[in-house]
Amino acid sequence: MLSMYDTCVETEEFITAEEFLRRREHGEIDPKKTRIVPPDINSGSFGGFAVKLDVPRYRPAFGEKAARNAFK
């Protein structure tokens, strides 16, 4: 039986500052393809970095809330 899932396209990946520094040290990230994501008091997020992916990827969107929270 074939199952079908809704998917969302991700063009950016959200990473923490610690992960950014680790990847940058190893040369895995191009600083020109990143942007700073500021902290959000409402959600409690500490912020981080959004890294533009070289190749967009799909991820399953389980529910309407997950689809709305996907990177644009």
What are the residues whose beta carbons fall under 8 Å from the beta carbon of 69, sequence distance 6 or more? Answer: none
Residue 1 placed within a domain: no
Range of the domain at 27: 7-68
Q: How many domains does the chain have?
A: 1
Give the tens place of pLDDT for each residue, 18-68.
Answer: 999 999 999 999 999 999 999 988 888 889 999 999 999 888 876 655 545
**Which residue type occupies 15?**
I
30 part of a folded domain = yes
CA 35/CA 20 separation, integer angstroms? 11
For residues 50, 62, 58 and 41, what is the CA-based torsion angle, rounded to 10 degrees? -10
Count the Cβ atoms, other than its own, within 10 Å of residue 49: 21
Give pTM, 2 decimals. 0.67
